[in-house]
Structure 1
Amino acid sequence: MDMVTSSRAPRAVVTFVTPAEQQRVDALTGRGCVTVHRENLDQVLSDLRTHAVSAVIVSVSRYQQHYAPSVARLVREFPRVPAVALLSAYETRSSAALLSLGEHGVRTLVDTRDPAGWRELRSLVNAETPGSIDNLAIRTLRNDLATARSSSVRFFDTLFTVPRSMTTVQQLARYIGVVPTTLMSRFYRAGIPAPKKYLAAARLVRAAHLLENPGSSITQVSFLMEYSSPQSFSRHVSGILHMGAAEFRRRYSGEQMLEHMRQSLVLPYRQQLQTFDPFASPPQWLVQRRPDSERVAAPD
């Protein structure tokens, strides 16, 4: 199966497992997850550098001692991506393989010789990652806006659920079903920073999180975030934070960039955001005063 490249695609789990295990793993995945099977660990490392991967599964049966440097590199360069050892059959070399995997940083073992192990693996590959930056951002901002209108909260949820390919406020407006000029006008009238500032900040939160993996270069993250070039990404960072991409990487983790977004764009405007509705529907009195045959949605 080919790697999915669209940004808000199902979570990708990359495997290095036996053919029999491939079939079982495929049967476990739901609509929110896609498995990508590779024939060697170099391919797995390539996927980690060029795609957003939620987990890696390494078969104990396929593991050989000469793979140890690749496993160590995988764990070292991509610490944010869980690595799982899969044990489906015990062989004479299984103990040595398990010991080597553990020594080189693989901390999670799923033993599927018992049916409960397959259930555990199903939960692992299909579960939303509670520690993902998108989920953390949504939880944090919902807490900041606990008493705000649901439509205001929904806007911030959307910032962290849209595809990475959504790079402009015009695209965002169309995505949420609002005319772009109308969306910008609503923010202006409410005394809130322009929506493009929120979208840009959310994108930098995601980029900073990806850059936490030492194995991900600025160039690779630039393309993962769908900037036209590394130079475009650097200009974007400079325009918002007045620093280059390399300094951005040194200074900001995903959580630190989220905190910057909160302090600059959310908390100072919390009062306005309490009643803000970026999806504003027409006033009820305007709808009710028209005969049924004449009722239309007020234009955005």
Structure 2
Amino acid sequence: MQRKAYVTGTAALLAALLAGCTSGSGGGDDTTDKNADTGTSTVAAQPGKYRTLPEPCGAVSHDTLDSLLPGITQIADADQRDKAYQGDATLTYDTDRKVGCRWKVESADATDRLSVDFERVVSYDNAVSDDNEAQTIYTQLETAADIPESAPPTASESPSPSDSTSASPAPSSSAPSSSAPSSSASVDPASATSASASASTASADIQPRVLTDLGDQAYLDDQLSGSGSTAEQRTVTVVFRTSNVVVTIEYEEQPMATGTVPDSKEMQDRAQKLAAQLAEALNG
């Protein structure tokens, strides 16, 4: 009787184990299906176009340095002149992310300085692309420089000759005639208005402003420091963004003679020419 009870208990235990295995197998299948149905994939933002940066001290040609730093060709010693061309690399701890170079040359007329900086922007947020992060950095620089949002009035917005002449009263027919020429008669209203419009346009052309033909975004700043009692230093800054690289150019000139003011248009033209060359080299 005892042996029969033992066999019956063993059979019951085996049946329970088999039922548990069957149930567990079904549950596992359900779990796998649910994971497959609810799984999602995250798409990372696009990386920037640039993975490396140029060698900054070699990015500016000798001809360009001759233009921006006129005193460099006046250096008599060949070794000193070569050293001036080489510039001084900016100290940086990650040359894959940020590099720069500095030049300083003194001449009999002025001291000229040039700096060029490249920053390759990398976003560490999968939802933000490198380009968008670089755009944010560029916008911060432009905002800090306080670049005007709109340009000053152009020639088309100046009063027309008809507006200025219509406001003047018509001459009286009873006024006595004079054989002597009048000084006011020698002034042509149209010419005066044209000259005023040209001066306004020229002034607008050299003001701090957004540049529309350089990289993806760009601006130019022009600042004059000093007074008539000291030599006035002019600093022209050009900043532009191409994809995920932000380039900053600073060009300074301080004349030796007191009261001398560096030419704004000439310095801006030189800085913009260099910026165009660097943008072309990056895209090349």
Global fold match (TM > 0.5): no
Higher strand proportion, which one? 2
Higher helix proportion, which one? 1
Larger Rg: 2
TM-score normalised per structure 1: 0.25
